[in-house]
Structure 1
Amino acid sequence: MSLAISPALRDALEGWLAHLRALDGAAENTAEAYRTDVVGFLGFLGRHQGGSGGLASLRGLTPSDLRAWMAHERGRGIASRSLARELSAVKSFLRWLSDREGFDATAVLSARAPAFQRKLPRPLAEDAARAVIGQVEAQAHDDWQGARDAAVVTLLYGCGLRISEALALTGAAHPLPDTLRVTGKGGKERLVPVLPAARAAVARYVALCPAPPAPQGPLFLGARGGPLGRRQVAKVMEQARLALGLPASATPHALRHSFATHLLSAGGDLRAIQELLGHASLSTTQAYTAVDTARLMEVYARAHPRA
């Protein structure tokens, strides 16, 4: 860190990040994002208070200081959603530090995040999701790559996997079991039921693959034998989207949204869907309830147009 932060404060920041990784299971990318947010806040605080940037500056932190920082971020063009994320990181650090150093940060921790409109997930219709599976296979240069792309897409839509989770599978996962153990964000494991269609899609890919995946190597291979990458999957999905006339929101992650939304529409339990998706908070899963309601209202509006 190039900012003028005291050694004690630097050590505290590293201690907090270590705590997040070890006890809260934060992924490395998440920890680094938090580091950036907090370092930015500390840098502003040093300039704002004109101090040395030590622990004393945080002991005497006031709600007014926090409001000044948020106003500064707004002035830089930071959107409400991003500012809310930054504030969450700063408050998490202050909460941990106040517990460790024994000072009262209640007044600062009560600061409210800026209000923002949460973006609803944008799932595909059921027929569109099925069409994508067929399209990615049909558009491939050869049979084995088509089978591979269809298998990846089937895992995203049929099992609700994140693209990173699907690509992290090794050859040892084949043949897919009835229940797949998946490692998600923060290294958290969950069990996901495997549909027969997903098992069959992966089996077909492996049978056609010119170099069957090694047990300890990646399950999904690229054209040159290396691991299949996220960008390759995104490109395949983009080609399918254009061929089918689907909106730009039809991304690989949209298939995971589709899995959750269609499961909810079919009467799935919200808690069960939370477990299947690996969401840490039920509030994240509840976004699909809003999607389901929004789609219902669209159908209602078409069926009952205003005079």
Structure 2
Amino acid sequence: MSEPLLVSATAPLLQLKAAWLDRLGVERHAGRLTIEAYERDVRQFFGFLARYHGRPAEPGDLAALSATDLRAFLAERRREGLGPRSLNRILSGIRSFVRHLEREGLASSAGPAAMRAPKQPKSLPRPLAVVDALAVTEEAGAMASSPWIAARNVAVLTLLYGCGLRISEALGLEGDALADETARSMTILGKGRKERLVPLLPAVLEAVAAYRRLCPFDLAAGTPLFRGARGGPLRPQIVQAEMARLRGLLGLPASATPHALRHSFATHLLAKGGDLRTIQDLLGHASLSSTQIYTAVDGGRLLQAFETAHPRARRARAG
């Protein structure tokens, strides 16, 4: 007969976790996916503590939490195959929870704060070439099951590349968005509920207008702009599946994802002489350091632009 499963946490600790998650959503404006990931990570940490102590985790275990405890938990998760990015998210979630307990007078964040975050491997965005990005937006409607779905696919991917939107931002647009075909900009509510102004290209407005004309559902304010085949909100997985189909059709690498269109937007603007601060605003990055990574993507083009534009470079060539 197998042993009964050990309850991972006491009711008081679970109540504290629920209050923390509520605070993240209401006061910190954390996104749904972030809250779900943090909940899962902290729940798994409770399970680790329960196995270690042989009893459900309780608030006192978090009050006495040390960097050694955290290192042991992260080592266990690393053995399960998690990479540095996931381990950093786990550490961030636990630190946030302990800070919440500290505000309640139930813990000290000194232990988690002393824990050094796992080193992140340096990785650069992998944008598409200009010709490939254009091909994606042009071929997005090929082989769709109906004309309106073809127009929808074109509109969504054109928004990602033409405006640099995150997929969640595009799919979060309401039915009355982009209804004015003379509009030159729109306001996007991004991460942390931060608003930014995004210019609208004629190609974007034309693609959305074509979709509106063909869509069989009422695209009213308060309802989703982009719909699934049965009229419900369009799911990110459908857009990702469409990009997978386009990768096969156009012979693109596995890095050609919906998010790669956002990378392409930024990289292509920078290659054409776009200002980093402006690109930061267009992408909705909280800090310039997040935008500066694009300067390493296409060093050859940036060097060429420098040699063309800098007065001393021009004088050297003339001499």
Q: TM-score range with shorter-chain normalisation?
A: 0.7 to 0.9
Instruction: Work out the number of aligned pairs and report it.
Output: 297
Q: CA RMSD in A?
A: 2.8
Shift, 1:25, TM fit? 0.4
Deviation at 1:101, TM superposition (A): 1.1
Partner residue in 2 for 1:290 = 296
Aligned to 1:182: 188
* Aligned partner (choices 24, 32, 41) of residue 36 of structure 2: 32
**Partner Cα distance (1:99, 1:25) in 2:** 18
Query: Counterparts of 1:242 and 1:184 in 2: how far apart (Å)?
Result: 31
Partner of 1:87: 91
- Matches of residues 254-293 of structure 1 in structure 2 within 5 Å? 254-293=260-299
Deviation per residue, 1:86-137 (Å, 9 max, x gap)? 1111112112222321654324312111213143221101111111122123
Instruction: Evaluate the alpha carbon distance shift between residue 141 and residue 164 of structure 1 in structure 2; reply closer, same or farther with a 3 A threshold.
Output: same
The one of 57, 64, 71 aligned to 2:68: 64
Q: Secondary structure at the match of 1:286?
A: helix
Task: Tell me the CA shift for residue 281 of structure 1.
Answer: 4.4
Check the 8 A contact 1:125/1:258 in 2, yes or no: yes
SS, match of residue 104 in structure 2? helix
Contact 2:64 2:107 in 1 (8 A): no
Per the alignment, residue 249 of structure 2 pairs with: 243
Distance apart, 1:40 and its partner CA: 1.4
| Amino acid paired to 1:253 | H
State which of 184, 194, 200 in structure 1 corresponds to 2:200: 194
Task: Give me the whole-angstrom Cα distance separating, in 2, the residues matched to 1:224 and 1:19.
Answer: 35
List structure 1 runs of 4+ shifted beyond 6 angstroms: 294-297
Does structure 2 conserve the Cα–Cα contact (< 8 Å) formed by 1:51 and 1:57? Answer: no
1:96 is aligned to 100
Measured at CA, do residues 110 and 209 of structure 1 come closer, stay the same or move farther in structure 2, by a change above 3 Å?
same
Equivalent residue runs for 1:88-237 within 5 Å: 88-101=92-105, 103-140=107-144, 143-173=147-177, 174-176=179-181, 177-209=183-215, 213-237=219-243
Q: Distance in 2 between matches of 1:247 and 1:279?
A: 26
* TM-score in terms of structure 1 length: 0.84
Residue 141 of structure 2 aligns to a residue in which SS?
helix
Letter of the 1:257 counterpart: H
Counterpart-to-counterpart distance in 1, 2:8 and 2:84? 27
TM-score in terms of structure 2 length: 0.81
Give the partner amino acid of 2:45.
F
Residues 61-106 of structure 1 show CA distances to partners (whole Å, capped at 9, x for unaligned) of 2222222222222233332221121111111211222232165432
Q: Offset of 1:277 from its aligned partner? A: 2.0
Name the aligned partner's letter for residue 113 of structure 1.
A
Q: Which segment is superposed worse, 164-173 or 120-129?
A: 164-173
**Counterpart residue type for residue 203 of structure 2:** A
Asked if structure 1 preserves the Cα contact closer than 8 Å seen for 2:63 and 2:106, the reply is no
CA distance in 1, matches of 2:219, 2:37: 34
Q: Distance in 1 between matches of 2:65 and 2:226?
A: 51
SS at match of 1:161: coil
Which stretch has the larger CA shift, 3-12 or 257-266?
Answer: 3-12
Shift of the 106–152 alpha-carbon distance from structure 1 to 2, 3 Å rule, reads same
Counterpart Cα distance in 2 of 1:93 and 1:255:
34
Higher mean C-alpha deviation, range 127-136 or range 223-232: 223-232
Check whether the contact 1:206–1:212 (CA below 8 A) recurs between aligned residues.
Answer: no
What amino acid is the match of 2:260?
Answer: A
Change (3 A) 1:65 1:227: closer
Aligned-pair identity (%): 51
Aligned equivalents of 1:286, 1:144: Cα separation in 2:
38
Q: Helix, strand or coil for the counterpart of 1:172?
A: coil
Larger mean CA deviation between 265-274 and 240-249 belongs to 265-274
